[in-house]
Structure 1
Amino acid sequence: MTKGSEQAYKDLMEKLDQLDIKYKIVDHPAAETTEQADNYIAGLEGVRTKTMFLKDKKKHFYLVIMDDKKRMDFKDFQELTGTKRISMAHDHDIEEQLGLEAGIVSPFGIMNNADHNIKLYFDKEMLDSEEILTFHPNVNTHTIFLTASDLMKFIDACGFEYEILNLE
């Protein structure tokens, strides 16, 4: 069951403040797609990202974070990670594992994953740009801007590990 978008957002803001992570928030109408979200933050500096929640047939879960302009190549991902039969996770998986609604998936959902059963992967090219990254902060009525190093600080504090891949 989801925690409720606004509560999930408040919990995230508290966690980021507790970790002394600097961020900028832009408030906007609900964005149902990355394209809508991008329109609301047009002209502001930052890599527009997409986060995909994937699973395999054995119910292993994966978060893949990349520039939203890139296309996800599932075959390439499977070859790079040694995974098999990867597909998009179902809405109920998102709710159960991340405590979020479909369409609001971001790396910040890991703070709701007590089982620590999600592997995180970042696209190297996106991180190499050393720009600010943008995400939905567990709700689709805001966009958060923060550095990659601060995002990694958050992930480490949540007790998760991540890998950086060259996604084609």
Structure 2
Amino acid sequence: MDRYKTVEEHLNALNIPFQLVEHEAALTTEQADRFIEGIEGVRTKTMFLTNKKKTQFFLVIMDDRKRLDMKAFGDLTQTKGIRMASENSLYEKMLLPPGVVSPFGLLSNADHDIRVFIDREIISADRMSFHPNTNEKTVFLRTGDVIRFIESLDYTVNVVDL
């Protein structure tokens, strides 16, 4: 089954409504933003991070225009050596290629070992946008439904100041 269908089926099973926008492959957040210009919702970036020893994993969701202070995030999580996870780790943990990271990748995290963080700055937004495990589509869904989706997979959503 394709990766998008898995996302769609899970959202439908939870009765979570979403708006789907199909477009050519988006290779950067700037390009993705152009494909969804004019549609209401926070343009998110989701980063998959790890510690130096690759023993801890983090999914961080924030506004795509914001930069993450890795040291501050490390202090927040009491983790040394925070960095972007490798392409191999991303595929091993969420079966995703680079550029397609989103909370929907948690559907494939067999080890259930990723901690989820959302920036407090966007938590009050009505809607958020994500690639649904493919960079040829973007989905918009209500922020509360993003949290409900993540929690349905038995993950805790940590809302923090980034």
TM-score range, shorter chain: over 0.9
Say yes or no: does 1:15 pair with 2:15.
no
SS in 2 for 1:139: coil
**67, 72, 91: which one aligns with 1:71:** 67
- Corresponding residue for residue 30 of structure 1: 25
Q: List alignment gaps of at least 5 residues for structure 2.
A: none
**78, 81, 84: which one aligns with 1:82:** 78
Say yes or no: does 1:113 pair with 2:113.
no
- Corresponding residue for residue 147 of structure 1: 142
SS in 1 for 2:43: strand
SS in 2 for 1:32: coil
- 1:148: how far off? 1.1
1:54-105 per-residue CA deviation (whole Å, 9 max, x = no partner) reads 0002321100100001111011111222111000000011100001111100
**What is the TM-score normalised by the length of structure 1?**
0.93
- Corresponding residue for residue 38 of structure 2: 43
1:30-49 per-residue CA deviation (whole Å, 9 max, x = no partner) reads 00011100000011111000
| Cα separation, 2, equivalents of 1:77 and 1:87 | 10
| Cα separation, 2, equivalents of 1:81 and 1:97 | 20
**137, 146, 150: which one aligns with 2:132:** 137
RMSD value over aligned CA atoms?
Answer: 1.0
- Corresponding residue for residue 3 of structure 1: none
- 1:161: how far off? 1.1
Say yes or no: does 1:165 pair with 2:160.
yes
- 1:131: how far off? 2.1
- 1:147: how far off? 0.8
| Cα separation, 2, equivalents of 1:93 and 1:146 | 27
Q: List alignment gaps of at least 5 residues for structure 1.
A: 1-5
- Corresponding residue for residue 57 of structure 2: 61
**100, 103, 112: which one aligns with 1:104:** 100
Structure 2 residue identity aligned to 1:122: I
| Cα separation, 2, equivalents of 1:162 and 1:127 | 11
**What is the TM-score normalised by the length of structure 2?**
0.96
